[in-house]
Chain A
Amino acid sequence: MANFETVTVETDLLICGGGMASCGAAVEASYWAKKHGLKVTVVDKAAMDRSGAVAMGLSAINQYVDLNSGNNTLEDYLGYVRNDLMGITREDLVASIARHVDTSVHMFEKWGLPIWKDEDGKYVHEGRWQLMINGESYKIIVAEAAKNALAEAGGELIERVFITHPLLQDGKCVGAIGFSVRENKVYVFKAKATMVAMGGAVHVFKPRSTGEGFGRSWYPPFNSGASAFFALYGGAEMTCQEVRFIPVRFKDAYGPVGAWFLLFKAQATNALDENYMQTNRPELDNWLPYGHVKPVPANLRNYLMLLDVEEGKSPIYMQTAAAIQKIAEDAPDEKAAKKKLKELEAEAWEDFLDMTISQAILWASTNTEPEKKPSEIMACDPYFIGSHSGASGAWVSGPEDLQTDATKDEYFWGYTGMTTVPGMFAAGDASGASSHKFSSGSHAEGRIAAKAALAYCVDNPDAPNVDQAQIDALTAEILKPLDTFEQNKDATTDPDINPAYIRPTQFMFRLQKIMDEYAGGVSSQFKTSDKLIEKGMELMAYLQEDAPNLAAEDLHELMRCWENVHRMFQAEAHMRSILFREETRWPGYYFRSDKPAMDNENWLAFCNCVYDKETGEWTMLKKPVKRITA
């Protein structure tokens, strides 16, 4: 076996991941840990300053409930999220995040994040729930507060360690194991409580671009399914695994459209200049009551657009020039119009430069000046993200004070944010059924769960007892791809082509081909059926059998091996859940052609699943959707 040193870290709370949720968790946990003499450790596969989905920055904070303005209530936010997810949402979780998110945003400002303000000193809203920011350094600033908090509380940040598996003992989570991507070291973390916040999953499906632009997914390619795998492997119940998010973005580079729709009030049209939201409106009647709510749910907006695409009415355009023209026309005089145009131009470009720089490159290289010509938009590929407009993730306990008599037995088991595995918590993209938390809500949810996790540590003060045999077995399994490569590489003249093993890039392509063709990817316009999924699962079983033959030349490739094992589990949970939910609930995200309609009567329910790592069996569960508001 490859010769690796083992580093053992003992801690009270282990936070896996260094993204938005983890940064919130680190700040909050450090505050309470300092008071209670507890230790907090954060482990990230990258550098916290630029790790995760906010690496590039963002141009908007998408969740600000603005409670103290008196304009919005928690119920308003609940209504918005419930409708956007076609009725399937955990109201207790959404309300819990919504009541704490404004605090996160106010703190971001104290930490130095520039949030746009108007003449009266009020935040500039992009839409009802969104704030405009100069967000190039959003992640750096939020990470800075997290790091300073850890330092003040005697906590620890360990970067460039990739977490592969949870450590388990007597049905509880007692830490995690992984390896350094820089030195030959295996890291064993023994913890009283462990938070899973390793983001969502990208590249489970084949992206549209398969050449050099393969990495240009809308969500980042380094969100590789670690959260889902960690929770599944630990035996945690998962929810909404059939929900994937497919954003509509500017075509090819996936630049954001939010500012164009919300701030500049631009319209999208097909090639014939028709507004598909109007011409295809009657289709919304088939998805009631959600077809008639405002705003129209994101998946239905996609769906109306895709109907035009299927009818050959592409390209679909964002009418940028018309929108800018209209705003300039509304200015009182020519001078004001000129000034306004200049402002808008900077805003439009900053929107890209802050969070999707590739789109600025694409516009510059196609001589696109948005005030002069429209630009194409298109649905991206499917992503698994519990934080944005997706909902997939672990099934976690809600807070006690937000339950009703009817929900308490279903949605509450002691510690907010805890999965069904004692000691394992989840937040951000890792936790499910609490959609629309975005960057700020993920931070808030990290704070909520971290505090609860420390309460768990205080209530369960025994040092974690981890069986050495488990550590030894996992260490061997984790490092196996290095051995496989070493032992077999000289059997052929080209180390890439060798009958004894499969390298992670080809493994990923195989996974993506299965998902794309059988589970409703881009090439089938997101359509699938029971028969297709069943066939896809047959091919997936071969892939799973081949996974132990993954080979890695170095630490970087070892990370790629494990990322793709993680993706594979996300893929399987997805296929099983689509099959289990016998209806089409989210047309625009996916369409089951054998069950083309929504079936509210039978399926206004959460589809949950549990994986048993001992037997390899999956259990599918239906859980009721219970409202806590009238």
Chain B
Amino acid sequence: MPTFVIPDKCDGCKALDKTACQYICPNDLMVLNKDSMKAYNQEPLLCWECYSCVKICPTQAIEVRGYADFVPMGASVTAMRSTEDILWTLQFRSEEIRPKRFKFPIRKGVSEGQAQPFDHYPTADDDLHGPGLMGEPEALNTELGPVKFDKVPTL
């Protein structure tokens, strides 16, 4: 099946009020077996291999095994996501190809939880019925651009 759970690693998210994988799966696939207190994918047929559950699992208990109906065996792609970047490890089917490791940033300049929704730009127009949105027209401009908008453009 696309995602699978390593029993020794899954602790059923004991420390949390709900399991992380069940909380996050956009397709409602990951569930906890109440007897074994281990998670599993209840409907692998509809797994998108989006890795949302893999990335959030606090114990790295979830991995993905490529779709068996068209993916040859033996390769793996694993993810380790921290607050600032994500580390990927790609293992090829052939051991002759050296595994690849990539690290990519995932956010910049704003720490987790701190995205401030309003007030980055002044809002010129207070008219609820007008076309100007929050932060406009200032937010249409950048420091670099030669064109400066002082109102929302029209045709």
A106 with B139: CB separation less than 8 A: yes
B106 with A100: CB separation less than 8 A: no
Give complex CA distance A569, B86 in Å.
40
Give complex CA distance A49, B146 in Å.
36
* Residues of B close to A616: CB separation below 8 A: none
B104 with A361: CB separation less than 8 A: no
B42 with A103: CB separation less than 8 A: no
**A454 contact from B42, B93, B128, Cβ within 8 A:** B128
* Residues of B close to A100: CB separation below 8 A: 133, 136, 152
Q: Which residue of A has the minimal Cβ distance to B1?
A: A212
Q: Is A275 an interface residue (CB 8 A)?
A: no
B77 with A215: CB separation less than 8 A: no
**A214 contact from B23, B46, B105, B144, Cβ within 8 A:** B46
Q: Is B122 an interface residue (CB 8 A)?
A: no
Give complex CA distance A350, B49 in Å.
16
Given contacts A358-B67, A447-B133, contact A103 B140 (CB under 8 A): yes
Q: Is A166 an interface residue (CB 8 A)?
A: no
* Residues of B close to A345: CB separation below 8 A: 100
Question: For chain B residues 1-18, which have a beta carbon within 8 Å of chain A?
Answer: 1-2
* Residues of A close to B42: CB separation below 8 A: 556
* Residues of B close to A364: CB separation below 8 A: 75-77, 90-93
* Residues of A close to B112: CB separation below 8 A: 144
Give complex CA distance A220, B27 in Å.
9
Give complex CA distance A73, B36 in Å.
60
Give complex CA distance A214, B49 in Å.
11
Q: Is A70 an interface residue (CB 8 A)?
A: yes
Given contacts A28-B133, A209-B67, A366-B93, contact A46 B27 (CB under 8 A): yes
* Residues of A close to B144: CB separation below 8 A: 68-69, 120-122
Give complex CA distance A24, B90 in Å.
35
* Residues of A close to B154: CB separation below 8 A: 99, 401-402
B134 with A357: CB separation less than 8 A: no
Given contacts A112-B108, A112-B110, A209-B70, contact A70 B97 (CB under 8 A): no
B52 with A55: CB separation less than 8 A: yes
Q: How far is the CB of A626 from chain B (nearest CB, A)?
A: 13
* Residues of B close to A87: CB separation below 8 A: none
Q: Is A56 an interface residue (CB 8 A)?
A: yes
Give complex CA distance A399, B152 in Å.
12
* Residues of B close to A67: CB separation below 8 A: 140, 145, 147, 149, 153
Given contacts A103-B139, A211-B69, A215-B48, contact A365 B75 (CB under 8 A): yes
* Residues of A close to B2: CB separation below 8 A: 212, 215
Give complex CA distance A416, B149 in Å.
22
* Residues of B close to A447: CB separation below 8 A: 133-134
B92 with A367: CB separation less than 8 A: yes
- How many chain-A residues does the 8 Å CB contact rule pick out? 95
Indicate with 1 or 0, residue by residue over B14-55, a CB within 8 angstroms of chain A CB atoms: 000000000111111001000000000011111111111000
Give complex CA distance A447, B118 in Å.
13
Stretch of A145-153, A326-334, A460-468 with 4 or more beta carbons under 8 angstroms from chain B: A145-153
* Residues of B close to A354: CB separation below 8 A: 104
Q: Is A75 an interface residue (CB 8 A)?
A: yes
Give complex CA distance A210, B45 in Å.
9
B26 with A55: CB separation less than 8 A: yes
Stretch of A133-141, A309-317, A476-484 with 4 or more beta carbons under 8 angstroms from chain B: A133-141
B106 with A365: CB separation less than 8 A: no
Q: How far is the CB of A454 from chain B (nearest CB, A)?
A: 6
Give complex CA distance A149, B154 in Å.
28
Q: Is A424 an interface residue (CB 8 A)?
A: no
Q: Which residue of A has the minimal Cβ distance to B46?
A: A215
Q: Is A346 an interface residue (CB 8 A)?
A: yes
Give complex CA distance A99, B117 in Å.
20
* Residues of A close to B145: CB separation below 8 A: 66-70
Given contacts A56-B50, A212-B1, A628-B155, contact A32 B128 (CB under 8 A): yes
B155 with A95: CB separation less than 8 A: yes
Indicate with 1 or 0, residue by residue over B107-134, a CB within 8 angstroms of chain A CB atoms: 1111111111110110100101101011
**B128 contact from A68, A212, A217, A458, Cβ within 8 A:** A458
B107 with A113: CB separation less than 8 A: yes
B113 with A214: CB separation less than 8 A: no
* Residues of A close to B140: CB separation below 8 A: 67-68, 99, 102-103, 106
**A112 contact from B25, B50, B93, B115, Cβ within 8 A:** B115
A216 with B67: CB separation less than 8 A: yes
Given contacts A68-B148, A114-B106, A134-B104, contact A47 B97 (CB under 8 A): no
* Residues of B close to A51: CB separation below 8 A: 26
Q: Is B58 an interface residue (CB 8 A)?
A: no
Which interface residue of B71, B72, B136 has the most chain A CB atoms within 10 A?
B71
Q: Which residue of B has the minimal Cβ distance to A142?
A: B115
* Residues of B close to A56: CB separation below 8 A: 48, 50-52
B147 with A152: CB separation less than 8 A: no
A211 with B68: CB separation less than 8 A: yes
Give complex CA distance A401, B154 in Å.
7
Give complex CA distance A364, B78 in Å.
12
- Interface residues in chain A, defined as those with a beta carbon under 8 Å from any beta carbon in chain B: 27-28, 30-32, 35-36, 45-47, 49-52, 55-56, 66-70, 74-75, 95, 99-100, 102-103, 106-107, 110-114, 120-122, 134, 136-137, 141, 144-146, 148-149, 152, 160, 181, 209-217, 220-222, 252-253, 345-346, 349-350, 353-354, 357-358, 360-362, 364-367, 369, 399, 401-402, 416, 447-448, 451, 454-455, 458, 505, 556, 559, 628-629
Nearest 7 A-B pairs (CB), nearest first? A211-B69, A68-B145, A112-B110, A213-B67, A365-B75, A149-B117, A364-B75
Please give 15 more A-B residue pairs, beta carbons under 8 A apart, in addition to A113-B108, A122-B144, A212-B1.
Answer: A56-B48, A103-B136, A103-B140, A136-B81, A149-B118, A211-B68, A211-B70, A213-B70, A215-B44, A215-B48, A353-B79, A361-B66, A365-B93, A401-B154, A448-B133
Q: List 17 A-B contacts (CB under 8 A).
A: A46-B28, A47-B24, A56-B52, A100-B152, A111-B116, A112-B111, A114-B106, A134-B108, A136-B86, A137-B107, A152-B118, A220-B26, A346-B102, A353-B86, A364-B93, A401-B131, A451-B133
